[in-house]
Copies of this chain bind each other. A is one copy, B any other.
């Protein structure tokens, strides 16, 4: 069986790629409000009619853009050293929040929480994609009941630091965070 991509006219494939690239760039640079048919069409160099034909609603554009972000999340090779892997993953996450304006995308999805089931699904999907390697590292070293709270603490700690405390989630901060969360997860072993 051929894959679907092989059946799609290459010009259509290029259009799709150009448009989704433009939507993603606008989302990251200017936030959800900028992801309109008019602005994306202008940036990608296509007509609004073309966009409406492929992506009838704004939410379709947003979804295509989040799909692209999820696919683009790097999955660093885990070394098997939990502390090292968590620190590396969280430093990446902190940098993406700051440099790539990922905080703007999360903000846009949080702001519209509950407005449409698709928004909530996109938010969960982006969170899952962004935290997959951290989750996998935790899962292979900690007991099952420690995984979700540890992940919430680590991701939340970096998010609050970068998003609200207006301080960098740099190496000393992240190392301290990881040591705290691991000490807590392992405290029961010592009892």
Q: How far is the CA of A184 from the CA of B159 in the complex (A)?
A: 19
Q: How far is the CA of A184 from the CA of B176 in the complex (A)?
A: 10
User: By the criterion CB–CB under 8 Å, are A109 and B107 in contact?
Assistant: yes
Q: How many copies does the complex hold?
A: 2
Q: Indicate whether A60 reaches chain B with its CB closer than 8 angstroms.
A: no
Q: For residue A182, give the distance in angstroms from its CB to the closest CB of chain B.
A: 9
Given the known interface contacts A110-B103, A112-B31, A183-B183, the answer about A157 and B149 at a Cβ–Cβ threshold of 8 Å is yes
Q: Indicate whether A156 reaches chain B with its CB closer than 8 angstroms.
A: yes
Given the known interface contacts A110-B106, A184-B180, the answer about A155 and B160 at a Cβ–Cβ threshold of 8 Å is yes
Q: For residue A162, give the distance in angstroms from its CB to the closest CB of chain B.
A: 9
Partner of A107, one of B110, B152, B180: B110
Partner of A184, one of B127, B155, B161, B184: B184
- Mask, A143-170, CB within 8 Å of B = 1, is 0000011111101111111011110000
Q: Which residues of B contact A109 (CB under 8 A)?
A: 107
Chain A residues 30-46 with CB under 8 Å of chain B are: 31-33
Q: Which residues of B contact A120 (CB under 8 A)?
A: 166
With most chain B CB atoms within 10 A of its CB, the pick from A113, A163, A181, A185 is A113
User: By the criterion CB–CB under 8 Å, are A148 and B165 in contact?
Assistant: yes
Selected A-B contacts with CB under 8 Å, 5 pairs: A149-B177, A152-B157, A152-B165, A153-B180, A159-B159
